[in-house]
C-alpha cells in the first residue's frame, strides 16, 4: 500500500506491506536510530514521535501514519533541545552500549516539550517507563534529564 507522511519534516511517499509495522517501514528508508528490540511494545528502543507523541514504532501499523508527521532521532539532530539532551547523557555517563539511547532521547525530548514546568525526578522516571536499559540502568539517564530540566526551568 502507498502511504503519504511527513517524515522528519519532509513529505514522503512510501510503499509498505499492508501488515508492516512503522518500525519496519522506517528502517527500510534508512532511519537506523529506530532500533528493533522486543517488537512487542515493551522495550522502547523503537520510540519515535507520531504527531509529537511518543509511540513504539513496533506496535503502530505503517498504514496508521497516513497523513501524519513522524519524527525520528535523525530529524532532531539539529534541534537545540535534543542536542542538549544528547550532551547531558554523554556527560553523565548515561550511554554504555547505546542501544536504548535513541528511544530514551525521544521519550525525554517529548516530555521536555510538554507544556508546563520542566519535569521533576518522578515525572522523568514516568516519562521513561517505556524505555528499558539493560546496561547503564536508569540513575545516570535520570540525572542527565534532571540536569537539562533544571536548565530549562532556569530559562523560563
Partner 1 sequence: MRDLKEYRIATSPAEAVALLRAGPGKGRFIAGGTDMFLGRAACDFVVDINQAGLAGIERTDQGDVLIGAATPLQLCHRSEELGAFAGGELARMAGQCGNRPVRSTATIGGNLCNALPSADLAPVLLVLDAVCFVMDEESQESLPLADFFVGPRLTVLEGRLLTGLILPAEAASRHCHAIKLTRTAEDISLVQAAVGLDVAEGIVTTARIALGSVAPKPLRCHLAEDQLAGLKVADITQDLLADVALIAAGESDPIDDHRASAEYRQEMARVLTRRLLCRALADTGTEACNEGDEGGAA
Q: Kindly list the residues in this chain that would bind partner 1 in the complex (CB under 8 A).
A: 1, 17-19, 21, 39-42, 44, 47, 50, 53-56, 58-64, 66-67, 107, 126-130
Distance of closest approach, residue 154 Cβ to partner 1, in angstroms: 26
Among candidates 58, 75, 66, 65, which has minimal Cα distance to 109? Answer: 75
Distance of closest approach, residue 79 Cβ to partner 1, in angstroms: 19
- Grid coordinates representing 136? 547503564
Backbone angles phi, psi at 87, to 5 degrees: -65, -40
Distance of closest approach, residue 116 Cβ to partner 1, in angstroms: 11
Within 10 Å of residue 84's Cβ, how many Cβ atoms? 17
Distance of closest approach, residue 65 Cβ to partner 1, in angstroms: 10
What is the C-alpha to C-alpha distance for residues 145 and 148, in angstroms, rounded to an integer? 5
Chain centroid to Cα 136, Å, comes to 18
Among candidates 128, 132, 103, which has minimal Cα distance to 43? Answer: 132
Distance of closest approach, residue 146 Cβ to partner 1, in angstroms: 18
- Grid coordinates representing 101? 539511547
For partner 1, which is the closer residue by CB, 6 or 61? Answer: 61
Query: Please, which residues have CB within 8 angstroms of residue 80's CB and are 6 or more apart in sequence?
Result: none
For partner 1, which is the closer residue by CB, 48 or 94? Answer: 48
For partner 1, which is the closer residue by CB, 54 or 75? Answer: 54
Amino acid at each position: 500500500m502507498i502511504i503519504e507522511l511527513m517524515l522528519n519534516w519532509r513529505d514522503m511517499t512510501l510503499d509498505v506491506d499492508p501488515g508492516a509495522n512503522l518500525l519496519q517501514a522506517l528502517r527500510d528508508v534508512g532511519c537506523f536510530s529506530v532500533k528493533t528490540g522486543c517488537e512487542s511494545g515493551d522495550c522502547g528502543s523503537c520510540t519515535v514521535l507520531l504527531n509529537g507523541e511518543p509511540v513504539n514504532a513496533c506496535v503502530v501499523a505503517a498504514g496508521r501514519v497516513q497523513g501524519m508527521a513522524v519524527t525520528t532521532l535523525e530529524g532532531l539532530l539539529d534541534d537545540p533541545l535534543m542536542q542538549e539532551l544528547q550532551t547531558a547523557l554523554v556527560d553523565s555517563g548515561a550511554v554504555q552500549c547505546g542501544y536504548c539511547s535513541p528511544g530514551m532521547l525521544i521519550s525525554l525530548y517529548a516530555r521536555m516539550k510538554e507544556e508546563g514546568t520542566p519535569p521533576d525526578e518522578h515525572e522523568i522516571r514516568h516519562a521513561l517507563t517505556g524505555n528499558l536499559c539493560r546496561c547503564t540502568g536508569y540513575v545516570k539517564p535520570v540525572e542527565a534529564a534532571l540536569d537539562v530540566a533544571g536548565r530549562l526551568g532556569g530559562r523560563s
